Amino acid sequence: MFIDFVRIHVFAGKGGAGCISFRREKYVPKGGPNGGDGGRGGSVVLEVDRHVRTLLDCREQPRYRATPGRGGQGWNKTGKDGEDLVIRIPPGTVVHDAESGEVLADLTHPGDTFMAAKGGRGGRGNTHFATPTHQAPRRADPGEQGGQRELTLELKLIADVGLVGLPNAGKSTLLSRITRARPKIADYPFTTLEPNLGLVALDVSRTFMVADLPGLIEGASDGKGLGLRFLRHVERTRVLAFLVDAGTEDPRATLEMLEREIMTYGPALAEKPRVVVLSKADTLAPQDRAGWPAKVGLPQARLLSAHSGDGLRELLEDLWKHILAATQAETDSGEDGDDVG
C-alpha cells in the first residue's frame, strides 16, 4: 500500500534525576556530597532510508516515544542516557509542523536526518550545590522534560521523468517496457491507484528514474479523480512526459487539458521541460502513422507503440537529453539537484 501523507506525534525522553548522596567511608570523616548527574533523555530523530518506499509504518504507529535517562548514583556516577529513537522514512519526505504548517525539513538524500524532538537534560546531582558555607547540600535537580511535537510527513517521489496522462493512456505499459517495474495493466480506467517507480538503463553509465503517476482527469486540480492526491509527486521530476492516446478523438484538446490541470495545481510545473508522446500507435492504420502527429496538430509529438517497441529508443534518448539539460540548469542556478546516474 502506498502511503504518502501521515500525521505523527513524537515524544523525547525525560532526563534522569540528579542523585543526593554522601560519601560514607570508614576513617574518612566529613566525606562530602557525591551524587551523580542524571542521564540525558533519548531524542526522536527522522532519518532517510533508501530501502523505505512509503510512510505506511508511520501511519500504523503514529505515536513515538524515546526512552528516558536513568537517574544519577552515588560516587559521582552519571545515569545512563536514554536511547535515541530513529524513525526510518523514504527519500523525498517533507516534514511540516502540524499546527502552523511550516516546513521544518526537506529530506531527500539517504542518510539525511532531522531532530524531531530533543531529549531532556539530566538533572544535576548534589555535588554541584556544595559551597564553603553549605558543605552537605540535600538538593538535586529533577530531569528536564523531553520535547514533544506533532508533525505531518508528506512524501514527494524523487524521479527524473514523470509520466502524465489520462487513465488508459498507456503509462503503465510504457513503464513496464522500459524498466523492470510491473505495474497493474488492464483495459479499464484507474488501473494505477498509486505511483510506480522504475529505473531505466540506457547503458551502463546512463540511468534515470521514471514515475508512472495515476491518471489525471479534467478537474483533477479541483480534487476530482485521483489526480490531486498524486500531483505532488510531479513537483520533484526534472522532465514531464505527456502521454496522449494517438487514437483518441482530439489528441490536441486532450494535451491542452492535461497542461491546464498541471498549471492550475502549480504554475512552476509549467516551466519544466516536457516531451509529448502519442501512445498506442499500433492502433492506427500503418499508412496513417508517418504523418499522424502533424495531422492531429501536434507535429513535435513522438509517435510510440509500447507494445511493438516502435519509437521507444528514440523517446528514451530524447528524455535523457532533457534530463541532462535540466541537471545542468540546476547546477548553474546553484540548486542542489539529485545526481543522475
Looking at residue 30, what is its pLDDT? 73
Query: Is residue 74 a contact partner of residue 36, using CB atoms and an 8 Å limit?
Result: yes
pLDDT at 1 over 70: no
pLDDT at 221 over 50: no
- Phi and psi angles of residue 305, each rounded to the nearest 5 degrees, phi first: -125, 105
Which residue would you say has higher pLDDT here, 215 or 248? Answer: 248
Mean pLDDT on 193-218: 75
Looking at residue 8, what is its pLDDT? 96
Grid cell 502533424 — which residue?
Answer: 294
pLDDT at 188 over 50: no
Looking at residue 216, what is its pLDDT? 63
Return the domain boundaries, the chain. Answer: 1-155, 161-332
Looking at residue 198, what is its pLDDT? 81
The rounded distance, in Å, linking the Cα atoms of 18 and 36 is 6
pLDDT at 196 over 50: yes
pLDDT at 340 over 50: no
The rounded distance, in Å, linking the Cα atoms of 82 and 16 is 9
CA geometry: angle at 24 spanning 19 and 30, to 5°? Answer: 100
CATH of 161-332, picked from 3.40.190.10, 3.40.50.300, 1.10.1060.10, 3.90.950.20, is: 3.40.50.300
Query: Is residue 286 a contact partner of residue 253, using CB atoms and an 8 Å limit?
Result: no
Mean pLDDT on 240-255: 91
Q: Which of 114, 105, 109 is nearest to 87 (CA)?
A: 114
What is the tens place of the pLDDT at every residue in 59-108? 899 999 999 999 999 999 999 999 999 999 988 899 999 999 999 999 98
Q: In this structure, is the dihedral angle defined by the CA atoms of residues 314, 315, 317 and 322, taken in order, positive or negative?
A: positive
**Average pLDDT, whole number, for the chain?**
84
Looking at residue 265, what is its pLDDT? 73
What is the tens place of the pLDDT at every residue in 261-280? 788 877 777 788 889 999 99
What is the tens place of the pLDDT at every residue in 5-38? 899 999 999 999 999 999 888 777 778 899 999 9
Looking at residue 313, what is its pLDDT? 92
1-155: CATH number: 2.70.210.12
Other Cβ atoms closer than 10 A to 192? 23
Given pLDDT bands bounded at 50, 70 and 90, which one contains residue 187? very low
